[in-house]
Structure 1
């Protein structure tokens, strides 16, 4: 079904490893179950969608002293997707084939309407290196949840999670290029720019951010 070896399939069944995103997608489609249920055992097993409530909205007619409303409910997305929230240490070891969970571990999942191209994850930002000066945008303060998609191309100007060879943890920075040389740049100018030259692996690209109030 997924063109894998019996040994790999046994590891999946024993909980020693988790299939990569492409194989999860294939399995869920063939078995007609939700990707989140298959990968993490969370939520309903059956495929389901959030209904679109926009068609059910009807404006109240004006008359008898009543005023027609000038607002309407926001259109709801057709589907929601949930991705795990992980730390900087786990993000450094994140690949399409290896998902760094201990056997039996159940990661916290955060929902979004974004359908990832790769095996996406949420990263909760620590520190102030991505807090831009007042008035500058974007700014990613501490505590922000950032959705990282490994399937998106890491082009200059994108915000990325990267693993530098001499570090035990991943870092979240802006990827910039100057004269053919690439750098990892913090949005906070108080932090130094990191030159990368074959000593860095881009884990994924930021595609969404949200802050808990």
Structure 2
């Protein structure tokens, strides 16, 4: 069995099409590698491959280079080798507490997050030390934000920046709401994203009593 035959054998074992494998190789090498090149390798028309292509093949096929070139067992990489080749995931910036929408009004001044009182989840982006998590509880911000989605809110970011997603309080005795700040004809409006809402409900012009309780810095859709 030649190298091309082993490439095809391993590709089929992993359930990859020639197009799938060619794209995976192309992401790793600066060349004109494509499906035709891969087909020529598998058919033996191209009997050898460059070092960088060989390394990309072993990574994409999760196999030993010695097996791919010479047929020397073992075929598959050991667990320690696989772990050494894995890429790091996103950095965990900070753990943040899940709070209620009522609590969002006071958490801008309350910095006491006892572990026993709240459930925490890591924020995937840099955020302030008082960042908290709210669970979207209505459809006003669909299609982008669905009910049940998590939004990470930083109360230390309260600037009225254009197009930012914010948690606001319209008056001293009103509840916290989730909206987007937009600028229309040099006037600031609060926008609900749901296209099914009538215009009269999608846009609200804030009054002088408007208070920004925090800016959304991350959005997670739980699975």
Smaller-chain TM-score range? 0.5 to 0.7
Alignment partner of 1:155 out of 161, 168, 172: 161
Matched, 1:73 2:82: no
Give the structure with higher Rg (CA). Answer: 2
Alignment partner of 2:184 out of 178, 188, 192: 178
Count of residues in Structure 1 that have an aligned counterpart in Structure 2: 146
CA contact 2:168–2:176 (8 Å) conserved in 1: yes
- Superposed CA RMSD in Å reads 2.9
Q: For the structure 1 residues 200 and 118, does the alpha-carbon distance in structure 2 shift closer, same or farther, using more than 3 Å as the test?
A: farther
User: Alpha-carbon deviations, 1:14-48, whole Å to 9, x = none?
Assistant: xxxxxxxxxxxxxxxxxxxxxxxxxxxxxxxxxxx
Q: For the structure 1 residues 87 and 206, does the alpha-carbon distance in structure 2 shift closer, same or farther, using more than 3 Å as the test?
A: same
In 2, distance between residues paired with 1:129 and 1:79? 30
Taking structure 1 as the reference length, the TM-score comes to 0.59
Q: What is the aligned partner in structure 2 of residue 35 from structure 1?
A: none
The list of structure 1 runs, each at least 4 consecutive aligned residues, that deviate by more than 6 angstroms after superposition, is none
Matched, 1:204 2:214: yes
Q: How does 1:118-137 map to 2 (within 5 A)?
A: 119-132=130-143
Q: How does 1:93-172 map to 2 (within 5 A)?
A: 93-95=106-108, 97-99=109-111, 106-117=117-128, 119-132=130-143, 139-152=144-157, 153-165=159-171, 167-172=173-178
Alignment partner of 1:83 out of 90, 96, 105: 96
In 1, distance between residues paired with 2:92 and 2:220? 18
5+ residue gaps, structure 1: 1-57, 133-138
In 2, distance between residues paired with 1:110 and 1:104? 12
5+ residue gaps, structure 2: 1-57, 69-74
